[in-house]
Amino acid sequence: MNANRPAEAATIQGSLYALVIFGCLWAIARAVGQPFETPYQVIGLLMAGSGFIVLGRYDLLTPWMPGRQGSIGTRMYWAWVVMVGGLLLLGYVTQYSEYFSRRVLLLWFVITPPALLVAHKMAVAVARRFLPQIVRRRTAVVVFVNEAARGLTRNLQKSSVFEVVGFFEDREMDRIGGPLEGQSYLGNSRNTARYVRDHNIDVVFIVLPDDGARRAINLLDELGDTTASVYYVPDFMIINLFEAQIREVEGITVLEVAETPFYGADGILKQLFDFSFALSVLILLSPLLLTIALIIKFTSPGPVIFEQRRYGLNGQRFSLYKFRSMYMGEVNPNSDMQQATRGDPRVTPIGRFIRRTSIDELPQFYNVLKGEMSVVGPRPHTVAHNEYYRKAVKRYMVRHKVKPGLTGWAQVHGLRGETEQLERMEERIRYDLEYIRNWSPMLDTKIVLMTVMMVFRDKNAY
């Protein structure tokens, strides 16, 4: 019977997902006044069947955490995107799409993922009410105390999955910096197995001692000045310090310390989004771009477009395009450590406006079309800044594991403009690395919307 549980769970979950998908289409069609006739029934059943097969493996009762890279919620979203893409391709090939209201289909495509999330929340609530033994929190103990154990315990205490009941430690409390905060001391490590048996503990976290980790950390610091992908065979302290993730490479469990999130299918989808978004923007804003170009041309001597060398993906240099916002002769395009400051006399009158509104950055959509940049990603720095900060800020070069972007996670948090203090650049890099670790389509969408909203009220742009 136990062997059949995964298949039974997949059947129940797949059936619920199929019902949500079909039900959303029916409800939307009725809401907009479209008769739910044979064409809608056919695609409803087709997508419901696909959902039963494709989505049934995603657990209903564990946290989905949508938006987090690799989470069930994010994988569910991408699975739905692929299913929708397949349906659109089928409609194009068969010329069947003319039978449907585009409004109904668009609403269906957009509303179904949130509806699946609601179904997940409802399933968890029902299970907690009527089947508490299935979704109860798992009891856990921690063996050995160090900084990694403290970080782990803090995270476990916030979790809806685990309940930490205490810790085991062989050393004196003063040697380990005191007990784990808010946790009971359960005895020496040799008592762990007996305690686990007697109290039916579900999970034991054995935190490896710190000995020997320092050499590895120094090496990882040095590798942070390269664009190489880095994996480390597990030591728990490395997970804590570098927020590494467990992966499998050719059957061997490793820790992913530095890797691009845009490898494989995610990379293809990211490129498709970048290309279509950039092309749309350049077409829609072409009158504005032409107007700005003419104003620049007739108000100050020099070229309309300013080119500057920057570091891109994997540290490769490329020419970044901007509308010229400074007087010619005031800027060295190849080595520019001096950033623009408030009231900078080098900036032209029109340059002041286009810099404040970020219009000067719009030509970079052409960089996106060329594949040198992305719509969202870490902002590219000048070559001179790169060479300086790669030595001053740990793991600085890891930001080049992805394409640079027109806007980024750091910029929408106000880290734009001058970086005179090293601490400000360090904070910017922390946001860049956080973006790389937690990338998702929803995070990209959020950053684009935040960028649009802040364009006219960003005090750090001048």
pLDDT at 212: 47
- Model confidence at 131: pLDDT above 70: no
Please give the average per-residue pLDDT across 121-130, as a whole number.
Answer: 77
- Alpha carbon distances (Å) from 56 to 16, 67, 218: 9, 20, 44
Q: Which range among 135-144, 169-178, 309-318, 351-360 shows the weakest confidence by mean pLDDT?
A: 135-144
pLDDT at 245: 66
Residue 3 — pLDDT band, cuts 50, 70, 90? Answer: very low
pLDDT at 5: 43
Sheet holding 245-249, edge to edge: 230-232, 252-258, 245-249
The domain locations on the chain are: 2-133, 137-206, 213-258, 265-457
Closest CA to 368 of 406, 333, 322, 400: 406
State how far Cα 190 lies from the chain centre. Answer: 42
| Residue-wise DSSP of 108-148 | HHHHHHHHHHHHHHHHHHHHHHH-HHHHPPEEEEEES-SHH
CA distance 16 to 438: 29
Residue 320 — pLDDT band, cuts 50, 70, 90? Answer: very high
pLDDT tens for 405-416 read 999 999 898 887
Residues 6+ apart with CB under 8 A from 338: none
Residue 283 — pLDDT band, cuts 50, 70, 90? Answer: very high
For the question of whether the overall pTM of this predicted structure is more than 0.85, the answer is no
pLDDT at 300: 86
pLDDT at 133: 54
CATH of domain 137-206: 3.40.50
